[in-house]
Chains A and B, each alone.
Chain A
C-alpha cells in the first residue's frame, strides 16, 4: 500500500495578470522520484515552491501529507518541516557554521536537546560526506560543498519529501557530480523527491517519472525511457533537442 504524499488538483496561479501555473494536476506517492524539466520561465520553480507554501496558489487544491494548503492554515510549520527544500542558490545562513546551520531547525523548531541535534547533524554531514567541514562557515566552502550542506540541513528536519529547485545550476561543472551523487544516494535510500533539473543523466538514473512543463502547464509526463526516446508532444521534442545538442 503506498501513501499519497503530495496531491495537486486543478491548481492555477497568477502573478498579477500573468498566469504562472495553469491547471496543474500531480500526484506524488511515497517513494516516488519525479524530475521536472522545461524551458526557463515555464513555472517549474513556481510549482515546487507552492508545495511548501513559499508561494500561494489561487485556484485548485494542494495537499501535503494530508494537510490542505491555504492562506489561513495554522500548521504551515508542519508542512514546511515535512518538505525539505533545496535552493539553486543554496541559501545557507552565512553567519552560522555548517554545524549551526544544521542544528538550527532541530533545536529551535523541533526543540531537540543540543547534544542530540549535534549528533544528528553529524550523521547527515557524514551522509553528504563532508563531516570535516562542520566548524567552517559556508563562505569558506566550495559551491558543491555548500549545496551538500544545504541538503543535509533539509534532511535534519526529517522531511517526508525533498524538493530540489535546480540544485546544480549555480555550480561550476566539476562540482555538479558530487551533488548529483548525494541526490542519487538519497533516492536509493527511498526518499520521496521532486527535482527540477536539466541533468538528464540523473533523470535516467533515478526518476520514476519525468514531467515536462511549458508556459505554466504540464505538457507531458512519462517514465524516463519513453520520455527521452519517444517524446510525444512537439514542444517536448523541441526542448529535448535543444538540451541534448551539447
Chain B
C-alpha cells in the first residue's frame, strides 16, 4: 500500500466536472469506433433501425448509450466499499474480454475435444519445464551472486561474463544455440533438456542480479554479529544472510517464475510438446487456430493467477514475525 494520508479527499468521479469529462471522452471515442455494426449496434436496432442502413447517427446513438452506461457504472461503483469495487471491476473487465473472444465466433465443441489433451500434455509439460528451470536457476543465481560479490577475480569475471552474455542474447537464440550448437561439439541433447538448460541459464542470469541485490541489502552488522559468534562464510550465508534476504528476493523471483512460465513457450520451436506447441498445432487440421490459441492463452492466464496467489501467500509468510 502507498502510505495513505489521514485526510480524505473527495471521490474524484463524483465531481461533476470529472463525470462530464468521462462522459464526453467516452462518447467521442465510442462514436469514432463506429460500433453500429457490432453486437452493440444489433442491440440498438429498435432505436436506430437496421444497423446496416443507419449512417453516422447510428454510430452516434450507440456511442451515446454506451457512454451513458459507462459513466453511470463508474459513478455507482465509486459508492461501494473497496473490496466490492475491486470485485465488480474485475468482473466487468472479464466480461468485456469474453465479449471480445465471443466475437471471433469460436467453436466451443472443438475446444472441448482438445482441452483435456492440452492440459495433460501441454500444461503438464509447461509446468514441469518451468518448475525445474526456476529451481535450477535459483541455485545458479545464489552461486552467481556470491561470485559477483566476492573479491576473487576469476569468480567475478566468470559470473559477470555469464550474466552479461545470457542477459544480452535473446532467449530464442539461446535455445537454438544449445539445441543445435551443442551437438556440433559432440553433445547430443534432447529437446526437453535443451529447453530446460536454456531457460535455466537465461533466468539464472537475471536472478543472479536479484540475489545479489538481496544479499547486499543486509546490514553489515549482521555479518559482524554472525562472525563474532564464530560463524564462517557458509553458516553466515545459510543461516543469517539468505534467510533475511528472502523477503527481498521472493517477490521478484515470483515475477521471474511467472515470466518464465510464458517464456517456456519459446521451447516449442524445438518441438517440445508444451502448451504453445499444442496451441499452434492442434488446430491446424481443422483450421481452428483461434480456438486453440485462446484456450492456451486462458490456461496460461489461469496458471499465472494461481502463481500470483501463491506468491502473495509466501510474501505474507516471510513478513509475519519481525516487521
Contacts and interface: CB of A to CB of B under 8 A. Distances in A.
B227 interface: yes
A93 B323 contact: no
Interface string B213-239: 000000101101111111110010001
A109 B230 contact: yes
Given A89-B221, A137-B321, A95 B243 contact: yes
A89 B243 CA distance: 20
Contact of A94 (B226, B230, B235, B244): B244
B235 A108 contact: yes
Nearest to A89: B221
Interface residues of A, number: 28
A198 interface: no
B299 interface: no
A91 B224 contact: yes
Contacts of A235: none
B228 A85 contact: yes
Give the one of B219, B229, B240 with max A CB within 10 A: B229
B6 interface: no
Contacts of B229: 80-81, 104-105, 109, 153-154, 157
A52 B228 contact: yes
Contacts of B227: 54, 80
A216 to B, nearest CB: 21
Give the one of B222, B226, B228, B240 with max A CB within 10 A: B228
Contacts, number: 65
B225 A95 contact: no
Interface in A112-144: 137-140
B240 A93 contact: yes
A150 B243 CA distance: 20
A150 B219 CA distance: 16
Interface string B194-216: 00000000000000000000000
Interface in A68-116: 77-78, 80-81, 83-85, 87, 89, 91-95, 104-105, 108-109
A95 B231 contact: no
Given A139-B322, A139-B323, A109 B221 contact: no
Nearest to A150: B225
Nearest to B228: A85
Interface of B: 219, 221-222, 224-232, 235, 239-240, 243-244, 321-323
